[in-house]
Structure formats: C-alpha cells, structure tokens
Structure 1
C-alpha cells in the first residue's frame, strides 16, 4: 500500500498542470496542444518555472489566443524552438491587450523581472497575423488596443537572441522601464500583401530605459527600425540592416510638452538602410528636455528619402522655433549613400534652443538620379563641418515628394 501511494505521489509530481505542459524538476516543457489556445500552458510554465528554472517551448505550432503577462521572472532561461501564432480575433486583442503607458500603446505579451534570457536558436518564429491588422486598420497609425508583439517591462539583466518575427500586429518589440538589455541576432519583417500599408510596425522602441545593446538585426518594417524615445541612455546599436523603414532614429520626444524628455549617450554604428524614409535622424515635438551625445557612425544607405534630418516640430510642423528641447553634441561620421531626391540633409533646429556641438565627418550623399545633394541647415553651430548649401525652413517635412 505504501509503495502504491508513493507511486501515485510521484505521478502527481511529474504530471502536467495543464495539457501541453510537463514539469520535471525545475524544467517546464511546453508542447503544442493542437487546440485553439496554447497560452494557458505557456503561462503555467512561467508560473511553475519562471523563478530559478528553465522553460522550453518545443518545436511545433503554438496558437496564442490570450494576452500573456509575466512580470516576476527571476533567474530563468527560456528556450523557444516553435512557431507562436497570435490568432486574428481582433476584437479580443483590442479589448484585452495590456497597456504600457507610452502614448496609450498596449502589448500582447509583457515580460519583466530580473536575470532572464529568451533564446530562439534561430528556430523561434513569432507570427502576428499582421495582415489582418493592416487591412482593418486601413492605413491609419496608432489604433488603440493594437498590440505590440513583445514588451520588456521593468526588466533587468535580460538576454534575447535568435528570434524571427513575421507580420507583427504593431511594433515588433518595446523596451520600457528596463536596464541592461541585450538583444542579438533578430530577424523582423512586416510586409503588407494588400493595398493597405503596415503603418507603425517599428523594429524596437526604447523608453525610460538604459544600458541597452542591440546587434545583428535585419528589419523590414513600416516605420522606425530602431527608435530611441524619452529618458533612454547608454544605448549601443551595431550591425543592423533596415529595409523600407525610418532606420536609426532619436524620437519622437517632447510630447506632452509639460514633461521633459532626455536622451543621452547613444551610438549607432555599422548600419545599412535600403529604400527607407530616413537614415540617421532626430525628431522632437516642441517640448522640453535634451538630446545629448549621440553618434551616427558608418551609416550606408541606398535610395533614402532624406538621409539626415532634424525636426523640432515633427508631424504638426508648427511652433517649430518655440521648442526648448536642446539638441547638442551629435556626430555624423562616415555617412554614405544615395538619396531619393536632391536633399542630403534637412536640419532645422529650434530658434529658442539652437543646436550646438553638431559635428559632420566624411559625409558623402549623392542623389540617385544625379546632380549634387543639398544640405539645408538652420540654427546650428557654424563649426559643424557640414557645408550647408542653404537654410532649412521651419516645418521642413520628414518625407519629401520631389527635389527641393
């Protein structure tokens, strides 16, 4: 009888709490259920092995039909080798995606905690059913409830590697209130197959975060490839190729105007931008705060609308000279490639806070259709090293539709 009871207890210990999830010691293994939703099994794995444990999501097809919110990870290694598909129940996601504060954005999956990793081994695929979102959104931008694919939230000491995204719902990733984040070898692609554009499918955005290292990314997206937003510092982005995007961007910052935004110590280097809107640029609203000590180095591009750009009044293009958000100590070095039109740089700094410490070294921009590139500058330091060919009007648009 004692042996029978012991055997039954052992079975209980190794039996899965939910179909599709097995726990052995500190390892939780999730396998596809073949059902309509695998998120309960994945969440159960996080619950049982998310602290001082390991989680393995095996090869196979997994369906995600509910939000996943895990904010207490600690000393946890996550291995993903399968395909995770977020279902296309748009009304569910609009009502239930998790708010992340910034600009009323929300997310389908939020991870937080300390000392954790997520490795995709070059096999993990996150599929967002984005085409459904692109079509129903009909070219509009920031639909409330449209979820970011993956958000790091109040996360510290995190390593993410070897994951592929296809057709994300919105931004691919978002890093907020986090520190010491490394994200390497990521492949992201948002491409619409219909008349409606992907709109605002950024590769990643950082906000209120510091000490971030990004390396070896390939991104095709409908907006900024890498965007550094307010109160971000100590960011290093290296070896990233961006298609159809805004490439390397500081901003947007300064909205609302009553809340100062700060960006310090950012290095973008070894970047390729193909058929993109911009290459190395800074965009702010007429706000408060500063952007300081940013370097764009070894930026190569082909067919880019306006490679170098600064605006203190993005989107509204009003009150451009009233912004007090100071931009200083910015370096562009080894910036080479072809512009779509005849403008290599459009730089308008606010008259209320002129740019200082701008430095340009080895700038070689050639219009793809021939001729000489124009470099338009207003309210910048005279010793920048850029041979400005004219002034840049206030409200100079990010997207040009032809030669200046």
Structure 2
C-alpha cells in the first residue's frame, strides 16, 4: 500500500476506533490562546442577522450562538481573511428562502457554475458546538423540478483557507452542494451530520455532501450523510484526501471525479484513501469517473485506496467509468485522456440493488493502457437472489489481486 503525506496521512494511520473517539487539534497553540478569550454572544434580532454575524466574527476571537437561538441570514456572508477564530455554534444559522435574492447575489464560482450563501476562509478557524446550519432547501428542490438551469446556493464554502476544523455540526436542507472546499489546505471535518431530503414529490438533487477542488490535505471522518448525490466527490486537483468512517444513505457514492470535463484543463487527483464506509440505498459505492469524447480535457488519478466498504442495495457497488456521460460511439472514437493508475479496491462486501441485474462491479476503461495497476482483493458482493450469481465486468484493463479471477481476461475485449 502507499503512504499519504502530512495531515491526511497522519489521520489515515490512526486505528478506526481512535477516529471515533478523538480528532487532532491541528490549530495548536493559537487555538489554545483563543479559548481563553470571552466569547461574543449573538442572539436573533428579528431581522437579518447576517451583517452583525460577519461584523462580530471579524472583531471577536470567539463567537457564540447559544442554544435555542436561530440567526436568520438574509444576505450573503463573506467571512474570508480571518485568523484565529472560534465559531461556537450551539443554536442555528438559517438562510432565508428568498430565492430571488440568492440567485442575484450569491457568491459566484465559475467551476461548474456554482453560487454560495457563505464563504469562510483565512487561517486557524474552528466551527463547532453541536448546532445546525439550515439552507431552507425545500423551495429550491421544488423550483428545480421545473427549471433545471436554476443556480442554487452551496450551504458552506471553505475558500482560500488553511487549518480549518469543522466538528460536531449538523447541516440540513442544503439547496445543492452541502460543503465546498475550494483552494483549502489542512481542512478537517469530524462528526458532521448531513440531511438533505425533500418532503415533497420533488427530490433533493445535486446535494453532494462534500466537493473538494484545488485543495490539499482534507480529512472527512465520523459523519452521517443522507442526501441525493455524491457522498464525497473529489473534483480536479484534490490531493492527500481522507474520507473514512462514514455512513452514506441515498447517495451517488464516494466519487473521484468527474474529471477531464473541460478542454485544455489537466485534472489531478492523487493520494486518496476512503476506508470503513457503509453505503446504503445508493446509486454507486466506490466510483472513479472521467469524461471521454471530442473536446474534453485530460489528467491523472493516482494512488487511490477504497477499503472496507459495506454496501446494501447499491446499484453499482464498485465502478470505474472512463466514458462518463459519453456515448459509446464518441468514447470509442475519442477515448478518455484521464489516466487512472495505482488503484486498490480491498475488502468489499454486501449487496447490489439489482438495477444492473447480476452485475455488481464494473471496470470500464479506455484502450491503450489508460487504466493500469488496478488491484482488487477480498471482494464478496452479491446481487438479489433472482439474478443468480454475481457478475463482474471489465474492459481494456489488466486486473490484479486475489479477486482478479472474478473479472476474467478483459485486457482488450472485455467480459
């Protein structure tokens, strides 16, 4: 196996029982100094609490939102450039459902055409306290059902930040992505509980638990996620990432990608470990996805380990897809330019949903060695009984490991 460097590697090396009971305080002395300061306490004003929250956070070392206090946030919050701050969230931060305001004023990110309610950045910041961030998502879920071009705000964006810890926070009703880490380094999420579930017939779509982009040393551990898209997604240029000890329900899996979407861009995902994951009622389990076709980008996925996955009612428990959202004809004519190397799928067990009938794992690679050193070990996945024995499919890849026999000979033609 490989070694991941720095913070992510340190946490990955800790036994899972330790992860459940403790987490590192990597803000060190600076954080200890902050804790001696008296907090500035915020209460609901009856109006827009956004401006006073931003002002207080800029002035005070520690900001406390006490229990049974709900701050109503009606205007976007820019809290970047901070240093040595504590946000002790014991109550609730709730963003108003004023769709017109947020569409016109949300912080815009060109990557995948996103907007955000709140951007939090700087150095040595801790958000904790057992409270809740509420995105009032139901109005967005219903509106998106009739307008799929609608821009919907990200619940919390960590932007240009170093040494940020988010611990013991509940995140509910996110209109779209829940957490976006953009240009961050040394970011820890520990004990974050996410719920993005519609109460109407219109599903909560694109509610990724975490999206990581242009960031290094990000750790996501000990969390419960109930949502309608990726549980965790590594977007371009994500390095030294850990996503472990997670319960994911209703999601699209723990995903690397999608990569290679944009022409002229070279995407990198390197050094990623995801272990001790329970995946239920999901579209995918462990997934690597890359675009093919004319006019797409290129890149590399290298040194990725998925291990100890327990899956229940999952459409595609284990998948590599180098033709993501690309027709078979276009993929054959213009194979993916994202190379996938040194990948390990170890200790997978559980059941598929039967959505792919007997198929429980698929390694669909582009030709000419674009997938290499793909290892599978101790795989015991089964479909529903009506589909008989499990089927493992693959193409254009040499599979190694003690479970390689399940896939057969698929170096060129596939099985």
Q: CA deviation at 1:71?
A: 1.0
SS in 2 for 1:278: strand
TM-score when normalising by structure 1: 0.86
Residues of 2 paired with 1:139 and 1:26: CA distance? 49
Which residue of 12, 16, 38 maps to 2:49? 38
Deviation digits for residues 229-255 of structure 1, max 9, x if unmatched?
Answer: 110010111110000001211011112
Structure 1 residue 285: Cα displacement: 1.2
For residues 255-311 of structure 1, give each alpha carbon's deviation from its aligned partner in whole angstroms, at most 9, with x where no partner exists. 203101000000000000010001001011123110000000000010000111111
Which of 392, 398, 402 is matched with 1:375 structurally?
392
1:143 aligns with 2:150: yes
Among residues 114, 122, 125, which one is paired with 1:113 in the alignment? 122
Q: Could you state the TM-score of these two structures normalised by the residue count of structure 2?
A: 0.84
Query: Is the contact made by 2:398 and 2:411 (CA closer than 8 Å) also made in structure 1?
Result: no
CA contact (8 A) 2:157 2:181 kept: yes
Contact 1:141 1:199 in 2 (8 A): no
Report the 3-state secondary structure (helix = DSSP H, G, I; strand = E; otherwise coil) of the residue aligned with 2:88: strand
CA distance in 2, matches of 1:236, 1:47: 31
Structure 1 residues 271 and 126: alpha-carbon distance in aligned structure 2, compared to 1, 3 A threshold: same
What is the CA RMSD across the aligned residues, in angstroms?
2.2
In structure 2, distance between residues paired with 1:256 and 1:136: 28
Question: Of residues 92, 117, 129 in structure 1, which corresponds to 2:101?
Answer: 92
State how far apart, in whole Å, the 2-side matches of 1:140 and 1:283 are. Answer: 26
Partner in structure 1 of residue 261 of structure 2: 255
Q: Can you list the C-alpha shifts for 1:17-43, whole angstroms capped at 9, x where unaligned?
A: xxxxxxx9774221111x131111101
Deviation at 1:214, TM superposition (A): 0.9
Equivalents in 1 of 2:322, 2:283: separation in Å?
17
Residue from 29, 33, 40 that aligns with 1:28: 40
Instruction: For 1:139 and 1:373, locate their aligned partners in 2 and report how far apart those are by CA, in whole Å.
Output: 39
Retained in 2: the 8 A contact 1:257–1:285? no
Q: Which runs of 5+ in 1 are unaligned?
A: 1-23, 397-403
CA contact (8 A) 2:397 2:412 kept: no
Partner residue of 1:127 out of 125, 134, 150:
134
Structure possessing the higher relative contact order (Cα contacts under 8 Å, 6 or more residues apart): 2
- Residue 189 (structure 2) pairs with residue 183 (structure 1): yes
Answer with 1 or 2: which has the greater Rg: 1
Count of residues paired in the alignment: 366
Cα displacement (A) at 1:143? 2.7
Matching residue of 1:358? 374
Displacement of 1:320 in angstroms is 2.3
Determine helix, strand or coil for the equivalent of 1:177.
Answer: strand
Unaligned runs of 5+ in 2: 1-35
1:353 CA displacement: 4.3
Contact (CA 8 Å) 1:238, 1:270: kept in 2 or not? Answer: yes
Q: 8 Å contact 1:376–1:392 — kept in the other structure?
A: no
